[in-house]
Amino acid sequence: MRTNLEKWNYYLSIIEEKTNKFINSQKEGKAIPSVYYVVYPVGKVAERTITDTEYSHYKHGGRLYFNGKKPTKKEVEALAIYSEMDIPFSVDNLWFKYSEIWDKENNRTSTSSVRFTDVMTEKGLFYSIEDAEKQAEITRKFVEEEKAFKELHKKDGGYNYAANGYKFLGWQNGWKHEYYDEDGNLCSESGKPSKTIGYSKENYPEYRKCVDSKHRRIEVSHNQRGSENTVSCPICKIYWKYDCSD
């Protein structure tokens, strides 16, 4: 090997061989669909065709590309070191590449990728068009209900909440937040790592009753800076404010 490019391609082939071995081990014995379907938030069904399988080496510190027209000596050395590593392959870094026709009339397509595990567990997607259409109908119905709810309870920046029987819960920015795990339980009680922040029912019972009941709410932004926003629940007759300005 004389040139940096030849060396680069050599080390890259070693990494690709290791990668392909891992990919094949994860795909072996599994029924992988060539096509799957997703439902967009507006209720539109889209068909996606799986075109390839790829592995993201980014989290392991591996960079399988070089800057410029040719790799530098430093880039080749870094790739050589990575090729000699016992790469800690993980299914979490495995992806399917797909193509989607978003404009059938003009045959325009887009390409992206989806997690391998999401496809294999049918998470957030569907293997059959029939199942996708059923979910699409549910989604469209929800969208229409949401639209009707907002129209019925719409408010502007000058709406008088107190005069219309609403109770003010204060500014959310000053509330005491707690850390919750992926199951929605307090991290202080479950001992699991935090996934989100929230507000306890002990400190904010009216707010939590509303949120836990999954009531639809109306939100009003009072200015473009985001310094005053009002959220209200027409069912609980409560409202609160928050500031999201810089």
pLDDT, mean of residues 211-231: 94
What pLDDT, on a 0 to 100 scale, did the predictor assign at position 193?
Answer: 86
**Are 15 and 124 within one domain?**
yes
How much is the mean pLDDT over the chain?
Answer: 94
Q: Which of 206-215's residues contact partners 24+ apart within 8 Å by CB, and which partners?
A: 206/167, 206/169, 206/236, 206/238, 207/169, 207/238, 207/240, 209/236, 210/235, 210/236, 210/238
Query: What pLDDT, on the 0 to 100 scale, is given for residue 191?
Result: 85
Q: Do residue 134 and residue 160 come from a single domain?
A: no
Based on the fold, state whether residues 117 and 26 are members of the same structural domain: yes
Structure tokens of 150? 């907002």
Same domain, yes or no: 79 and 160: no
If asked whether residues 112 and 19 sit together in one domain, one would say: yes
Is the residue at 15 inside a domain?
yes
pLDDT digits (tens, 9 = 90+) for 154-173: 999 999 999 999 999 999 99
Examine the pLDDT at 198 and tell me if it is beyond 90.
Answer: no
Average pLDDT over residues 176-183: 88
Has residue 148 been placed in a domain? Answer: no
Domain range enclosing 48: 4-139
Predicted confidence at residue 150, as pLDDT, reads 95
Same domain for 89 and 181, yes or no, is no
| Residue 147 forms part of a structural domain | no
Task: Report the domain count for the chain.
Answer: 2
- Tell me what the mean pLDDT of segment 218-230 comes to: 93
Q: What are residue 198's DSSP bridge partners? A: 178
Does 144 reside within a domain? Answer: no
86 and 11 housed in the same domain = yes
Q: Are residues 100 and 167 in the same domain?
A: no
Closest CA to 118 of 100, 133, 99, 96: 96
Q: What's this model's pTM, rounded to 2 decimal places?
A: 0.78
Check pLDDT > 70 for residue 25: yes
Give the pLDDT confidence score for residue 186 in this predicted structure: 79
CA–CA separation, 179 and 196 (whole Å): 6
List pLDDT tens digits, range 48-95. Answer: 999 999 999 998 989 999 988 999 999 999 999 999 999 999 999 999
Coil, helix or strand at residue 107: coil
Lowest mean pLDDT among 133-142, 147-156, 178-187: 178-187
Does 184 score more than 80 pLDDT?
A: no
Q: Which residue has the higher pLDDT, 15 or 2?
A: 15
pLDDT digits (tens, 9 = 90+) for 92-146: 999 999 999 988 788 889 999 999 999 999 999 999 999 999 999 999 999 999 9
* Percentage of residues in the chain having pLDDT higher than 90: 82
Q: Is residue 111 part of a domain?
A: yes
The pLDDT value given to residue 203: 93
**Under 8 Å between Cβ of 23 and 94:** yes
Q: Is pLDDT above 70 for 205?
A: yes
Confidence label for 197 from pLDDT (cuts 50, 70 and 90) = confident
Q: Is 75 left (phi over 0), alpha (psi -120 to 50) or beta?
A: alpha
In terms of DSSP H, where are the helices of the chain? 4-27, 73-83, 116-120, 129-152, 187-190, 205-212
Asked if 53 and 170 sit in the same domain, the reply is no
Is the residue at 146 inside a domain?
A: no
Q: Whole-angstrom Cα distance, residue 217 to residue 159?
A: 15
159-164, long-range: CB < 8 A, 24+ apart: 159/220, 161/230, 161/232, 161/239
The terminus-to-terminus CA distance of the chain in angstroms comes to 55
| 46, two tokens | 């889209």
Query: φ and ψ at 150, to 5 degrees?
Result: -65, -35
How many CB atoms are located within 10 Å of the residue 72 CB?
13
- Quote the radius of gyration of the chain (alpha carbons, Å): 26
Whether 104 and 183 map to the same domain: the answer is: no
> What is the predicted pLDDT for the residue at 1?
59
Question: What is the structure's pLDDT at 119?
Answer: 97
- pLDDT surpasses 80 at 29: yes
